[in-house]
Amino acid sequence: MPLSIDDLLYGDVDDPANFGGAHHDPTTPDCHHNSCSPSDEFETNNPNNIFDLPPNRGDVNMAGPSASYNLSDDITEDFVRETAQLILLKPTIDAYSNNPHNDGTIPNSLFYLTLDTLDKQPDQWKEDHTAPSDVIDTLARLADYCRLIADLLKYRRSYLRDMLLTNTQETKKIKVNAPIPNRKDLLTKIYDNLPPKGHKLTEAKIAQQVKENYAMRAQICYCRLVMVQSLAHKSRNNSQWSDINDRLRILRGSSYTFQEHHSVIVLNKDFELFSHKRYYNEIDKTEFTVPTIEEVQASVDGGIVPAILR
């Protein structure tokens, strides 16, 4: 198996949760409202350093040893897909980009975390399932390699997006016959469906994560707000994932206080929109907005963390 899901659920314990400013609820008052060869098996990496990138990992033009490998068989492609689905459960991921050129060299991004986990597989596994190092001998071939990785990640990311947009998009194949799920139901669906086969969570574990994983709660709620706003206003100016990555970049450079206010404001907006069993078509499209940086800063300047609506 590529990764241990238990080591991903709360992100890196030594780092602040980029979105929440903490790994637990902020201390604010509550406002109560209503058959394979051995080399076919993926290696379980040391959970203490699985996301520690080796020197120079961030250089996209010379991405360390992993640049020597190319996707060559179904086993490798399955590995990349499964790894990506697990990484998407990491609440402190810094960027959802599947292309290093989009967001620069962010080590803790979907692209580089996947690349790094692939590189950490045993030499025998890489020899059996990836191309020899002399296959990629030019930057053009390296670019081809990056595109192969990116294409696989794109579909995993789209899988998450479809869940974020549950009961909002009606197509010839999909009929919306239920309200938009509240965040508890949405998180339950994500924790149930995103882990790949062999990494599934028990019902009790899912319930625990939904209840206790504050960082993931805030991150997923923000992602949904961006996705639904884009859908409602048919925005074509930018990728929703790029918008999310830009906000994560700002939060990485912000104070704990700013992060805390941001999370509470996001959660309250999510509550207002999606916690009252409302159908997408019943909601005025002007309500689908995402809290701005200016709104968060005004809250910080006010000196009081808003109460969390429940």
* In 165-255, alpha helices (H): 183-193, 203-212, 214-233, 240-252
Of 161, 192, 222, which residue is a domain's last? 161
DSSP state of 31: E
Instruction: Quote the domain boundaries for residue 249.
Output: 178-309
Number of domain units in the chain: 2
Residues 201 and 256 in one domain: yes
Is residue 139 assigned to a domain?
Answer: yes
CA–chain centroid gap for 65, Å, is 25
Is residue 12 assigned to a domain?
Answer: no
Q: Where are the beta strands (DSSP E) in 8-163?
A: 30-31
pLDDT of the chain along its 310 residues, tens only?
456 666 666 555 445 444 554 444 444 333 444 434 443 333 333 333 323 333 333 333 334 334 444 445 788 889 999 999 999 999 989 999 877 666 667 888 999 899 888 888 888 888 787 766 655 555 566 677 778 888 889 999 999 999 999 999 888 888 899 999 999 999 999 999 999 999 999 999 999 999 999 999 999 999 999 999 999 988 765 689 999 999 999 999 999 999 999 999 999 999 999 999 999 999 999 999 999 999 999 999 999 999 998 8
Tell me the DSSP string of 71-105: B-SHHHHHHHHHHHHHHTT-TT-SB--S-HHHH-S
Report the first-to-last Cα separation within the chain, whole angstroms: 38
Nearest CA among 175, 37, 55, 153 for reference residue 99: 153
Residues 189 and 151 in one domain: no
Residues 106 and 212 in one domain: no
Residues 149 and 182 in one domain: no
Name 109's bridge partners.
Answer: 95
Position 163 scores a pLDDT of: 96
Residues 50 and 111 in one domain: yes
Residues 186 and 230 in one domain: yes
- The two tokens of residue 110 are 């979907």
42: left (phi over 0), alpha (psi -120 to 50) or beta: beta
Residues 109 and 55 in one domain: yes
Is residue 146 assigned to a domain?
Answer: yes
Residues 142 and 195 in one domain: no
